[in-house]
Structure 1
């Protein structure tokens, strides 16, 4: 059972938090869902959406995290997980196991996903490329 002294009830409505451009990637916008504050940093939940057309993508990286899922709510994104290209479309859920090397390299203009990660202050570590990455689709 959770320790009720370190977690709180949270209810965030769409108008309660703004989309922000100061997240991990400048080509995405982020909207905090209040979970990091409610869990004292154990978990973060935020919405992420496309802000600019894909040019270089995220680069090869891994996260220092115990848990991470991506639930695509709108549009699509293409990831490389190791040497495996993976199309993630609206309605799909991906569990990114701890330490998996990946690269988000392409996405639709309407892409939006829910990301849940524990802990909230997870780190992103650049990694060497295990393979070539396909060219992203142009928005023009």
Structure 2
């Protein structure tokens, strides 16, 4: 049976929380959707959008998380998931299995995605490069 006492009801409207810097990556902006507070840190849900053109990307890393999905809302992003290049476009959903080594190296100026991760305070750990990274597409 689901324990309803460990989470709270949450309803966040578009104007309730702004996009802000200061998240995991300085070249993205993040909008909190209230889920981390409602779940007492069990899950985070936020919108992430491009703020600057890609230069170096995220670097090779993995997350200390039990669950992570990315749902691309607008634009596109190119990732390396281990040694496989993956184009994620608007409407695509990616489940990143725990510990997968990856690198987001390119994205469109209008890129925006929903990210849901458990736990909310997941860690990001730099890892040794898996393979070479293609160059990003210059913004015009």
Q: TM (normalized to structure 1)?
A: 0.99
String of CA shifts for 1:45-101, please: whole Å, max 9, x gaps.
Answer: 000000000000000000000000000000000000011000000000000000000
Which residue is 1:133 aligned to?
A: 133
Question: Following superposition of structure 1 onto structure 2, how do residues 80-95 of structure 1 map, counting pairs within 5 Å?
Answer: 80-95=80-95
Which residue is 1:2 aligned to?
A: 2
Which residue is 1:21 aligned to?
A: 21
Provide the secondary structure at the position in 2 that maps to 1:87. Answer: strand
* Per-residue deviation, 1:2: 2.9
Q: TM (normalized to structure 2)?
A: 0.99
* Per-residue deviation, 1:3: 1.8
- 2:76 aligned with 1:98, yes or no? no
Looking at structure 2, the residues matched to 79 and 70 of structure 1 have their Cα atoms a distance apart, in angstroms, of 12
* Per-residue deviation, 1:117: 0.1
Question: Following superposition of structure 1 onto structure 2, how do residues 27-106 of structure 1 map, counting pairs within 5 Å?
Answer: 27-106=27-106
Residues paired across the two proteins, number: 140
Looking at structure 2, the residues matched to 92 and 6 of structure 1 have their Cα atoms a distance apart, in angstroms, of 31
Provide the secondary structure at the position in 2 that maps to 1:47. Answer: strand
Structure 1's consecutive aligned runs of 4 or more residues displaced over 2 angstroms after TM superposition are none
Backbone CA RMSD of aligned residues: 0.6
Looking at structure 2, the residues matched to 10 and 32 of structure 1 have their Cα atoms a distance apart, in angstroms, of 12
